[in-house]
Structure 1
């Protein structure tokens, strides 16, 4: 076989293998997510966790520059030599596909948390209303304790490093039924690409190749603790976005630090209000009107930040990431982020 065709052919083999293994979640759970992956994650985070900057971001920058340089050097007759150039691109895709699934990506195919805990995801309007009322009350109470006045927005006084260090405390407090997701070897970084991430609409991401949790530190700081806990959940071997919101919320809400608790409860309250409004127009407003003015100011701060960076760029990446998630066991795409509300409603019942 022509050497240039080896990696593209290997890509086809990989896709078939990954999709086949994905049909056996118990095998993936025990062999990869609880077997090979923790060893890979331990090594990656031990090696890179103490480095103060994002190694993964630098790798991405170098690769992007290299790709643009290659395109520029081959711009003349690029499409005329489509076979050679196509095989080169497929070879790189093959390498990335292999590294992605070996180092982290197979976690998309593990047993869902809902199945492990026998939790339903569906809920009634009454269930959501009762849960929202509880979340609103908790959010208001935390805002008042932190701001000292119900009209003031909560301002987080910590530095980025202080937030990253505090986040571990919540994972130490996870309940026993979530012990699979204990956290070791901190590797949380302020992303060097925070401006592009803002325009792309991302609050953070996990670099699957270096296992670094990347945080967009440009966004409002009151929301950062939950984002950090969400990305840490990815590091524990969770692929599902809804499950990362679920674990991230529990970790942040159980943290002894009140700012982490406020970040968690204000986060889930926004989702609850959105879901109520989707169920019945005007339903969410009844609960929104019960929020302290200081909470509303934080919500407005959050909304204005993302509105400021909204361009066709984030619409494109939303479309791209939506389809990426759908191709990796998350049938609801980006909408899967909000599915954690159902998980929390039912988990809140059994946790009492």
Structure 2
């Protein structure tokens, strides 16, 4: 079969795949049972074994190769008049067809699985302002306790003695503890990598990402260390099939706060507190001013340090990259797009209605 005919067949298959996805997303129970808790478990384990031992991201290199291939095809079609635009079109759509299949087969169907609260047997509902404030007060207490247990001084910033490489290597231990409580979060062959594009990621405003083609979880190596453990556990949550960003934040919170490592616990509570206090600031600035003095000065310094880090990389391009990612999430049934990150607060409040804090 010549290459032209092959690309035309792949283009037809792209249309058929798109139609199949439109149908299968109507049946999240089937995806949950047979894909997320079935086929995907073996796919993800295999990919972590296949690529986990390699210190750099194969997925990043693959992304670069695909982009160069597409740009090269467009360039040649424009430069050389004898090349058919039609043939170039089928070549590009043929490659997209392959990527589309691998994306959904290797990971993408997790976007339409059942919500995490169904797996953990708790109901979610919108919270009142009073519930948000009451929960945040409890969270402030837990974060304060976590910070003082490490520093012995409420005005001192936590200084994590572990290197980022050591933090990455401990993610499996955190999930081992979580698995004892919730077996569905079993995480075998743990491996999280530093992104080859950490500097561009920082300018784009992102802490990490999962490559859905190779199942490689990558973390921005430049982010502040006290945020690092929670980010690593967030990306590991993606690896075990938690596609929603708010749910990956929530599972990352559970993994860090159930860990035996004090620095992991602090990172998890710090992340949760940041989300809750930001939500109060957005909805009720007066209550924010009342709650802020309750937070240990060392934690406030930590939050300011993190904010200063991200502000130092603010640039005009960040909003465009986030708009692109927002549309990507919406295209994958995450209707709130990038705003969905804040839904973690809904999960936190509803989960802790029936689950007391534990240190």
TM-score band, normalised by shorter chain: over 0.9
User: Would you say the 8 A contact 1:11–1:97 is kept in 2?
Assistant: yes
Mean Cα deviation higher: 151-160 or 26-35: 151-160
Following superposition, which runs of at least 4 residues in structure 1 exceed 6 angstroms of deviation?
Answer: none
C-alpha distance in 1 between matches for 2:99 and 2:316: 27
Question: How far does residue 82 in structure 1 lie from its aligned partner after superposition?
Answer: 4.4
Deviations 1:200-239 (A, max 9, x none): 2110011111111101010111100000100111111111
Q: Residue in 2 aligned with 1:211? A: 215
Larger deviation: 86-95 or 245-254? Answer: 86-95
Structure 1 residue 24: Cα displacement? 0.4
SS of 1:118's partner is coil
Could you give the per-residue CA deviations for residues 274-324 of structure 1, whole angstroms, max 9, x where no partner exists?
A: 111222232222212221221111111211121122222221111111111
The aligned residue for residue 91 of structure 2 is 88
Number of aligned residue pairs: give it: 351
Q: Quickly say closer, same or farther: Cα 1:172–1:4, change in 2 above 3 A.
A: closer
* 1:110 and 2:113 aligned: yes
Q: Aligned partners of 1:318, 1:329: CA distance in 2, in Å?
A: 17
Q: Note the residue ranges of structure 2 that are not aligned, 5 or more in a row.
A: none
Q: Does 1:340 align with 2:344?
A: yes
Q: Would you say the 8 A contact 2:122–2:350 is kept in 1? A: no
Query: 1:260 and 2:254 equivalent?
Result: no
Whether the 8 Å CA contact 2:73–2:92 is kept in 1: the answer is: no
User: Which is worse superposed, 327-336 or 59-68?
Assistant: 59-68
> Matches of 1:13 and 1:175 in 2, distance apart?
38
Q: What displacement does 1:71 show?
A: 4.2
Contact 2:70 2:92 in 1 (8 A): no
Deviations 1:133-153 (A, max 9, x none): 011111122222223322222
Indicate if the aligned counterparts of 2:206 and 2:220 stay in contact, CA closer than 8 A: yes
Distance 2:314 2:23 in 1: 39
Output the CA distance in 2 between the equivalents of 1:121 and 1:19: 28
Task: Indicate the residue corresponding to 2:49 in structure 1.
Answer: 46
Query: Are 1:138 and 2:142 an aligned pair?
Result: yes
Identify which of 271, 277, 289 aligns with 1:273. 277
1:43–1:282 distance in 2 versus 1, CA, 3 Å: same
Q: 1:313 aligns with which of 305, 310, 317?
A: 317
Within 1, Cα distance between the matches of 2:84 and 2:292? 59
In structure 1, distance between residues paired with 2:355 and 2:164? 32
Q: Mark the CA change 1:69 to 1:85 in structure 2 (over 3 Å): closer, same or farther.
A: closer
Inter-partner Cα distance in structure 2 for 1:318 and 1:220? 21
Asked if 1:178 corresponds to 2:182, the answer is yes
- SS in structure 1 at match of 2:218: strand
SS in 1 for 2:196: coil
- Contact 1:188–1:214 (Cα < 8 Å) also in 2: yes
1:55-86 deviation per Cα after TM superposition (whole angstroms, max 9, x unaligned): 222222333344444444444268x9643333
| Structure 1 stretch displaced more, 50-59 or 212-221 | 50-59
1:181 touches 1:237 (CA, 8 Å); kept in 2? no
- Structure-2 change in CA distance of 1:206 and 1:75 (3 Å): same
Residue 286 (structure 2) aligns with: 282
Q: In structure 1, what is the equivalent of residue 100 of structure 2?
A: 97
Please give the residue correspondences for 1:113-124 in structure 2 after superposition, counting only pairs within 5 Å: 113-116=116-119, 117-124=121-128
Give distance in 2, aligned partners of 1:36 and 1:239: 16
Mapped partners of 2:322, 2:202: distance in 1: 12
Q: What's the CA shift string for 1:125-180, capped at 9, x where partnerless?
A: 11111110011111122222223322222222212221012122221122667321
- Answering whether residue 37 of structure 2 is matched by residue 34 of structure 1, we say yes
> What is the RMSD computed on CA atoms of the aligned residues?
2.0
Equivalents in 2 of 1:121, 1:320: separation in Å? Answer: 29
Q: 1:314 to 1:46 in 2, by over 3 A?
A: same
Give the stretch that moved more between structures: 296-305 or 211-220: 296-305
Note closer, same or farther for the CA distance 1:287–1:65 as it changes in structure 2 (3 Å cut). Answer: same
CA distance in 2, matches of 1:43, 1:322: 30
Are 2:195 and 1:191 equivalent residues in the alignment?
yes
Q: Separation in 2 of the partners of 1:121 and 1:65? A: 46
